[in-house]
Amino acid sequence: MIGVLVLAAGEGSRFRGNKLLARINGIPILGYVLRSLPQPRLIVAGKYAAEIIHEFPKEVVMYNPNWREGMSTSIKLGLRYFMDSEGILVALGDMPLITKETVEKILGNFSPDCSAVVPIHQGTWGNPVVLSRELYDEIWKLDGDTGAKKLLKTKNRLCFVECGEEVLIDVDTEADLDEVSRRLS
């Protein structure tokens, strides 16, 4: 089993309010992400946990009290929840262009030969990534706002999957939201 971890604990400081609940065609950005992801999954939330629970009452949501300390603290909470999985798919809540097909392609490339699966677009690493259980011990040692990418750069046995631009595009600013809205219309 691959557990799906949705990182939704950032403050989104370059955005007014909670960007993950900003709507495009009436659907929150995080809603687009969720509809591309299989079960079992866990959303790790921070400052906006209450709003996220209210908006998505069917999801398992974990409040990370250390959200200010950065992404590694959310990954570690999620890892604890999926400790018995073969791997975790780490998805970002602010990448609404991700599709079910892309996620299936990434998951479909996971095998015991991969310590991780990384989607790439024209040479640039993207998200979501699959981290295999052989990395869990090292993930436990991450701290601060370090994602898993830095760790992966030190690894052999990475599996890469060529994908479209959707694996690179996140929403950080109002301008990003306009651009993504255009693509989703």
CA 90 to chain centre: 4
Structure tokens at 183: 């693509």
Q: Which amino acid is at 35?
A: R
**Is the omega angle on the peptide bond into residue 96 within 30 degrees of 0, that is, cis?**
no
The minimum distance between CB 133 and a second copy, in angstroms, equals: 12
Nearest to a second copy of 32, 82 (CB atom):
82
Which of positions 27-86 make contact with a second copy (CB under 8 A)? Answer: 49-50, 53-54, 57-65, 77, 80-84
Task: Tell me the two tokens of residue 130.
Answer: 């699959």
Q: Provide the minimum distance between the beta carbon of 174 and a second copy in the complex, in angstroms, as a whole number.
A: 27
> What are the tokens at 106?
């990434």
* Least gap, CB of 84 to a second copy (angstroms): 5
Q: Are 45 and 6 in contact (CB under 8 A)?
A: no
Q: Would you say 63 or 125 has its CB closer to a second copy?
A: 63
Separation of alpha carbons 118 and 23, rounded Å: 28
**Least Cβ distance, residue 34 to a second copy (angstroms):** 13
How many CB atoms neighbour CB 174 within 10 A?
13
Between residues 48 and 110, which has the closer beta carbon with respect to a second copy? 48
Does 1 interact with a second copy (rule: CB under 8 A)? no
Residues that bind a second copy (CB under 8 A): 49-50, 53-54, 57-65, 77, 80-84
